[in-house]
């Protein structure tokens, strides 16, 4: 299986448990790792034989900059689900969402959640 990765996409959103996060918002970083067959795209140099990464960025942006989630786990899950529902040639997706500046009184370089999802033999989206 081939891999396409979109790294360090940055968006502004209002996700979080605390009221100030929902009011003030903050930056989020998203990485997508997609498993799909890229053989035809590699041989034919045809955009229709792959997934347009500009579309992937637009879908991710719409979700991250849309209605808020309390948890970045839910945000990552929404992204994974939408991508698997939208692209039938996508076999598996890993979504990493980083909140670089969590509102805690401890200091670290952020928190990242990673979710891996795929479609099972019945078409149901399941954890990997």
Which residues does the annotation mark as catalytic?
99
Place of tokens 């637009």: 58
Q: Which helix (H) or strand (E) holds 18?
A: none
Instruction: Tell me the C-alpha distance between 16 and 110, whole Å.
Output: 13
Q: What is the dihedral angle through the alpha carbons of 51, 77, 57, 68, rounded to the nearest 10 degrees?
A: 150
């Amino acid at each position: 299986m081939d891999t396409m990765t979109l790294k360090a996409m940055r968006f502004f959103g209002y996700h979080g448990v605390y009221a100030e996060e929902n009011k003030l918002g903050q930056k989020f970083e998203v990485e997508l790792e997609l498993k799909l067959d890229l053989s035809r795209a590699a041989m034919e140099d045809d955009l229709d034989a792959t997934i347009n990464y500009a579309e992937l960025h637009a879908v991710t942006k719409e979700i991250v900059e849309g209605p808020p989630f309390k948890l970045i786990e839910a945000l990552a899950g929404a992204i994974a689900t939408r991508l698997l529902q939208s692209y039938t040639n996508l076999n598996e997706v890993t979504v990493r969402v980083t909140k670089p500046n969590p509102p805690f009184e401890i200091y670290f370089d952020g928190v990242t959640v990673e979710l891996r999802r795929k479609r099972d033999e019945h078409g149901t989206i399941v954890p990997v």
